[in-house]
Amino acid sequence: MAGRRDWTRETLAAGVRSGDRRALARAITLVENGDPLAYDVVRDLYPDTGGAYAIGLTGPPGVGKSSLISALVRHVRERGTSVGVVSVDPSSPFSHGALLGDRIRLSDHFLDPGVFIRSMGTRGHLGGLAEATLQALLVLDASGKELVFLETVGTGQSEVEVIGIADTVLLVLMPGSGDSVQALKAGIMEIPDVIAINKMDHPAAKTMLNEVRSILSLGPAAREGDREWRPPIVLTEATRGENVAELWEKLAAHRAYLEDSGQLEARRAKNLAGEVFSVASARAKEHLEHAVSGDPELERLLEAVQRRELDPMSAVREILEKVFHIGDGAR
């Protein structure tokens, strides 16, 4: 990279605060790599966070999450809102060369100083993707971005952990994403705040809309006093920008609902606590797996269980004692 320089904790934090793109890029790379400098910098920046509004997008691969983000970025940039994007989708990263659809050219956003877009991978992160996403959000927040989009692929538990830090959660579906509809129906997936059924140009879009509508009508609406929030469903066509303004209105309405009902603070507090817990759990799990695989004594314990010489719960107790020094009563 041209103009490469060695950043220190101080220059990097100051660079991020002033919105310097190279500082941002460097800080997020350090976050992605789990570099110790990243922890120091985020620690310094944390008091400057809380100003950004975070919108998390999740949904199956290929439904058009990245395309929708790109269309939404275009929409909010018309009002001058500064935007950060973190996409946690190692399978199809945002890239400078990407050309999505007819109207949405991501490369335009890469040239826009008010937009910072970044894809993140999994590179051996102790706290998993949830940790990297949280740290990247904090960096973008501290840099003064007013709005941050977080994209994650899938609709399972780990995806919820990744975007669990978002203020508003947008689920993106398309005609034919039956698995996600089943997950909604079975209550495996939490009810999102807003749902977009993208690729409305597809003939089965209306059928999908009715299906999702009927599932939502079964569940209770979120309630705060006499106000309530029912997740709106918007049909969109991201590649042509169709109904993107409407989708943005619904996202803004959800934000207004949270703010007016006093729930935004409560949600943020809950999200932060949840995120800390989820990262701590991921680290503990990593530590446990690492300890067991490198320790012949612990491996012998597992073999004893397999040979039915030791019962599973006794093995659990011994492992917890040895690895975490958690004694009796830890059940």
Ligand X SMILES: Nc1nc2c(ncn2[C@@H]2O[C@H](COP(=O)(O)OP(=O)(O)O)[C@@H](O)[C@H]2O)c(=O)[nH]1
Question: Where does this chain bind ligand X (CB under 6 A)?
Answer: 61-67, 92, 100-101, 198-199, 201, 237-239
- In the complex with ligand X, the residue whose CB is nearer, 12 or 238, is 238
CB 165 within 8 A of CB 190: no
Using CB positions, name the residue nearest to Mg ion: 66
Phi, psi of 280 (to 5 degrees): -60, -40
Binding at 177: pick from Mg ion, ligand X, none (beta carbon under 5-8 Å per type): none
Instruction: Tell me which residues in 10-69 interact with Mg ion (CB under 5 A).
Output: 65-66
In whole angstroms, what is the distance from residue 193 CA to residue 53 CA? 14
- In the complex with ligand X, the residue whose CB is nearer, 243 or 278, is 243
What amino acid occupies position 151? Answer: E
- In the complex with ligand X, the residue whose CB is nearer, 65 or 145, is 65
Give ∠ CA 209-94-236 in degrees, rounded to 5.
20
- In the complex with ligand X, the residue whose CB is nearer, 65 or 250, is 65
Find the shortest distance in angstroms from Cβ 171 to ligand X.
Answer: 11
Residue with tokens 């660079």: 15
What amino acid occupies position 308? Answer: R
Q: Using the rule CB under 5 A, is 236 a contact of Mg ion?
A: no
Find the shortest distance in angstroms from Cβ 135 to ligand X.
Answer: 22
Nearest to 285 by CA among 313, 315, 320, 257: 320
Q: Using the rule CB under 5 A, is 239 a contact of Mg ion?
A: no
Find the shortest distance in angstroms from Cβ 172 to ligand X.
Answer: 6
Q: Using the rule CB under 5 A, is 89 a contact of Mg ion?
A: yes
CB 174 within 8 A of CB 63: yes
What amino acid occupies position 33? Answer: N
Nearest to 171 by CA among 73, 59, 77: 59
Binding at 38: pick from ligand X, Mg ion, none (beta carbon under 5-8 Å per type): none
Interface with Mg ion (CB under 5 A):
65-66, 89, 92
